[in-house]
Amino acid sequence: MDEILTRNFCIIAHVDHGKTTLSDRLLEHTNTVEQRVLTDQHLDAMDLEKERGITIKSHPVTMHYRAKDGRTYKLNLMDTPGHVDFSYEVSRSLAACEGAVLLIDAAQGVEAQTVANAHLATGQNLKVIPVINKIDLPSANLDLCLQQLEDILFIPHDEAILASGKSGIGIQDILEAVVTRIPPPRWRDHKGTRALVFDSLYDSYRGVITYARVFSGALRAGDGMTLMSTGQKAEIKEVGIFTPKMVKIDMLGEGDVGYVVSNIKDTSDIKIGDTITLTRQPATEMLPGYKEVRPMVFCGLYPLESNDYEKLKAALGRLRLNDAAFQYQSESSIALGFGFRCGFLGLLHMEIIQERIRREHDVEIISTYPSVVYHVKAHGLPEIDVDNPVLLPDPGTIEYIAEPTIRASILIPNTSMGDILSLIMEKRGVIDHTDTLDANRVMLTAILPLNEILVDFNDRLKSVTHGYGSMDYELGEYKADDLVKMDILINGEPVDAFSSIVHRSKAEGKGRELCEKLAEIIPPQMFRVAIQAAIGGKIIARENVREMRKDVTAKCYGGDITRKRKLLEKQKEGKKKMKQIGKVSIPPDAFIQVLKN
């Protein structure tokens, strides 16, 4: 097929605006998937995606469509995630396309992530086709959506297509807009062969399978290929396209999106954003690729059974291949043994990775409390990055600790304004400015410490706004604040797994909460054990673990009471001596229960 008749596009939108359902209708309308095998959310292949009703990975698929002009076009579609934690997946898909279909929910209007995705697309000079989806809902407000399209996104309202992914309204119009508005593949005139690596996965039978978009030249089985960033050479064993299953073909030509199977077996040899070229006639310059992504949230992952360490290491290596935003390195803990320090884009990203390790690789893991990267300056030393409280220098030598902040765009109903302002103040945030979008909704721009939004901010935002609030954020600058390291001491010994960096104003409350939780979970000991939260040498909270007490006077019934007292004193002396030399063994269950909470 002539590459002039190829169109590469993706579907972008806020969470739950109907991207995957619309892609189902496109597959159905172009007869790419037979009706008898088509399922709801057909491109969501992972069990986790189907269970949670969200897209985690972008999914490529090739369709053929006969347009009104009588010509048959090849359409390469990418269904992308909507959640802010997976925006890196969206940017990778956009780099492999020339256009984007931007979905807006007719009932919800323009949301925070809609704005972010639209900016991502226009920033890469892609043609954006606005689609108002779910127009058959009783609560649909088309006039408001068209107004917001112009006021917030600066897109003329007459470019919008009205559609419904559920009932199939407007599908033909979307396909016609794709072939007429989106330009043919770009950068075809380059002399050498160049293909962009936008994803990859590991297959236990075939090794590393690379997902690539060919910009110029062609890739065939038997060709020698070179990865331009590392100079790694390999032989191409097979090429193919997604329909959405992998289908082997003879050649991937200009504008094609498909997969490449080579004799590369090591997951670390493939880098997302790399350029593939032919070894015999290499290209002179690489494709732009992607900017390096930096993890924002860190936690320790440890195997529940210590002999599963190698299994966990292999699992992390394979997940890293498939997810360039995920990073890890080895570390060890006195309490938990050998494990890995892992970096993620956000809390949902962390949750998904942990669940995939358990399900796909059958490794039970413990994770430590999530933290962020702090900039720490000690007297007479250069500034260092610290992502683990254990690595902090001596508190007496620290000049300052700076924490990362985020610039959050929070879309909320007017009625929730007071509650949201209280929540932002509680999380040590400040409002930068407020924009009124329409009669019912406002957009707040707030500066918040990243550490404060890690655990429960999004849940509470949804709760306070009854599900109507949404948030998008980008990393801001680092700001120094009154941050301290809080240790948890058990019988006077610090336990590194429970150490954390907190703001001084919140340390006492958090310390008391953790001590109470541990006192409930740790089983009774032979002597009274103190659980303390401490900042430096100052104790800020304390609880006691219950002590076992044997009734030593059980057989002393009747007679002189001094015998009973003597036995009790002897027991008391024994417990005092035990307290000096005794060790408290914390069961693994206690770590799991506390760290889960």
Annotated binding site: 16-21, 133-136
218's tokens: 């062609």
- Buried/exposed code over 343-360 (b: 16+ C-beta within 10 A; e: otherwise): bbbbbbbbebbbebbeee
Q: How far is CA 563 from the centre of its chain?
A: 66
Which ranges of 388-447 does DSSP label H, i.e. alpha helix? Answer: 417-426
- Report yes or no: 183 and 98 within 8 Å, Cβ to Cβ: yes
Residues with Cβ within 8 Å of 386's Cβ and at least 6 positions away in sequence, in order, are 373, 374, 375, 376, 392, 501
Residues with Cβ within 8 Å of 221's Cβ and at least 6 positions away in sequence, in order, are 236, 237, 238, 239, 250
80's tokens: 């992308």
- E-assigned strand segments in 304-397: 327-333, 337-344, 365-367, 374-378, 384-386
Residues with Cβ within 8 Å of 81's Cβ and at least 6 positions away in sequence, in order, are 54, 55, 56, 57, 58, 87, 89, 90
- E-assigned strand segments in 80-206: 99-105, 127-133, 161-162, 194-203
CA distances (Å), 500 to each of 7, 46, 293, 304, in order? Answer: 50, 34, 25, 22
For the chain, the residue count is 597
Which ranges of 382-503 does DSSP label H, i.e. alpha helix? Answer: 417-426, 450-453, 457-464
CA distances (Å), 524 to each of 518, 548, 584, in order? Answer: 11, 6, 10
Q: Residue 393: is the preceding peptide bond cis (ω within 30°)?
A: no
- Report yes or no: 259 and 240 within 8 Å, Cβ to Cβ: yes
285's tokens: 């310059």
Known binding residues for GTP: 16-21, 133-136
Backbone phi, psi, residue 53, to 5°: 70, 30
- Report DSSP state, residue 391: G
Backbone phi, psi, residue 378, to 5°: -105, 155
Rounded Cα gap, residues 551 and 558, in angstroms: 15
Give the Cα-Cα-Cα angle 306, 493, 491 (nearest 5 degrees): 110
In terms of Cα–Cα distance, which of 224, 346, 209, 355 is closest to 277?
224
Radius of gyration (C-alpha) of the chain in whole angstroms: 29
| Helix, strand, coil percentages for the chain (3-state, nearest 5) | 30, 35, 35
